[in-house]
Homo-oligomer: A and B are copies of this chain.
Amino acid sequence: MNIDMIRAAATRLEGHARRTPMLTSPFLDEIAGRQLLVKPECLQHTGSFKFRGGWSAVSALDEATRKRGVIAFSSGNHAQGVALAAAKHASPSVIIMPEDAPKMKIDNTRALGAEVVLYDRAGGESREDIGRTYSEERGLTLIKPYDEPQVIAGQGTTGLEIAAQAGELNVNQADVLVCCGGGGLTSGIALALEAEAPNLRARPCEPEEFDDATRSLISGKIEVNARISGGICDAIVTPSPGEITFPIMQRLCGPGIVVSEDECLHAMALAFSRLKIVVEPGGAAALAAALFHGSEVQGEAVVAVCTGGNVDAQMFKVALERFG
Residues on A close to B: CB < 8 A? 15, 18-21, 23-24, 26-27, 40, 42-43, 45, 47, 84, 104, 108, 111-112, 168, 269, 272-273, 275-279, 309, 313-314, 316-317, 320-321, 324
Contact = CB atoms under 8 A, between A and B. Distances in A.
Contacts of A324: 313-314, 316-317
Nearest to A44: B276
Contact of A272 (B20, B313, B321): B313
13 contacts: A18-B23, A19-B21, A21-B43, A23-B43, A24-B45, A26-B111, A26-B112, A43-B276, A43-B277, A272-B313, A276-B309, A277-B278, A313-B321
SS of A interface (majority): helix
B43 A313 contact: no
Contacts of A316: 272, 320, 324
Nearest to A324: B313
A195 to B, nearest CB: 25
Nearest to A25: B45
A55 to B, nearest CB: 15
A25 to B, nearest CB: 8
A47 B23 CA distance: 11
A324 B311 CA distance: 11
Contacts of A275: 43
A260 to B, nearest CB: 21
Nearest to A41: B276
Given A269-B313, A277-B278, A316-B324, 11 more contacts: A18-B23, A23-B43, A26-B112, A42-B276, A43-B275, A43-B276, A104-B273, A272-B313, A272-B316, A276-B309, A313-B321
Contacts of A15: 168
Nearest to A323: B313
B309 A313 contact: no
A113 B36 CA distance: 20
A92 B238 CA distance: 52
A125 B108 CA distance: 51
Contacts of A314: 324
Nearest to A19: B21
A197 to B, nearest CB: 19
A320 B279 CA distance: 15
What 9 A-B pairs come out closest when comparing CB atoms? A313-B324, A276-B309, A276-B278, A313-B320, A42-B276, A317-B317, A47-B276, A272-B278, A21-B21
